């Protein structure tokens, strides 16, 4: 099997290695701004995941037994999508908003079977509750630089772990790749990873 991860995310690569060592990484260059958010978060993340996988599909010559995994993770709070922060001030504002509140992390997953042309898409949602954060805690975290390339301006697997009071749902979804969901999706396609 020729398995391709359409993401350069170190976290996704590390997570996928937990269930298989046999895959290649071909990052997607899909422009996420092409997809407009119309209020339906699950549909939005699944569309983004599928679009990323389809963009990589065009670079694959050998399609026999080839599968592409596309993913997209967003943080949703009060009907807003909180993406990656533009800068440190934006990161501070995002974390200030999440402080003491519950938000949802959605990951869309798409699997393209290049042999059959079939696509399977699904999503996972995890509820995350942050403790009340002081401005000093937020500033210290923002200064670490860890927040700048992450949806919602934090990485649960990193130094922001201390912000998390509780989670309801899949931890790996918050990191960026819901392994149980991915395994089930492949299983529904008749494939064991």
Q: Is 72 a catalytic residue?
A: yes
CA angle 54, 65, 190 (to 5 degrees): 95
Catalytic site residue from 72, 87, 90, 149: 72
Round to whole Å and give the CA distance between 50 and 27: 13
3-state secondary structure the chain: CEEEECCCCHHHHHHHCCCCCCCEECCCCCCHHHCCCCCCHHHHHHHHHHHHHHHHHCCCCCCCCEEEEEEEEEEEECCEEECCCCCHHHHHHHHHHHCCCEEEEEEEEEEEECCCCCEEEEEEEEEEEECCCCHHHHHHHHHHCCCCCCHHHCCCCCHHHHHEEEEECCHHHHHCCCHHHHHHHHHHCCCCC
How many Å apart are CA 126 and CA 28, to the nearest integer? 25
Q: Give catalytic residue positions.
A: 72
């Amino acid at each position: 099997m020729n398995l391709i991860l359409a993401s350069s995310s170190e976290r996704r690569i590390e997570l996928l290695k937990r269930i298989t060592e046999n895959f290649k990484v071909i990052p997607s260059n899909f422009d996420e701004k092409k997809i407009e958010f119309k209020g339906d978060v699950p549909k939005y993340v699944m569309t983004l995941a599928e679009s990323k996988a389809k963009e990589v599909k065009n670079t694959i010559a050998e399609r026999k037994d080839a599968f592409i995994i596309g993913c997209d993770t967003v943080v949703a709070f009060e009907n807003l999508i909180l993406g990656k922060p533009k800068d440190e001030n934006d990161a501070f504002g995002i974390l200030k908003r999440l402080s003491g509140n519950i938000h949802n992390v959605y990951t869309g997953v798409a699997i393209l079977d290049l042999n059959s042309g079939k696509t399977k898409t699904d999503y996972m949602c995890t509820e995350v509750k942050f403790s009340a954060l002081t401005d000093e805690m937020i500033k210290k975290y923002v200064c670490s630089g860890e927040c700048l390339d992450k949806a919602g301006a934090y990485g649960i697997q990193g130094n922001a772990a201390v912000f998390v009071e509780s989670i309801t749902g899949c931890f790996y979804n918050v990191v960026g790749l819901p392994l149980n969901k991915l395994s089930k999706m492949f299983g529904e396609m008749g494939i064991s990873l």
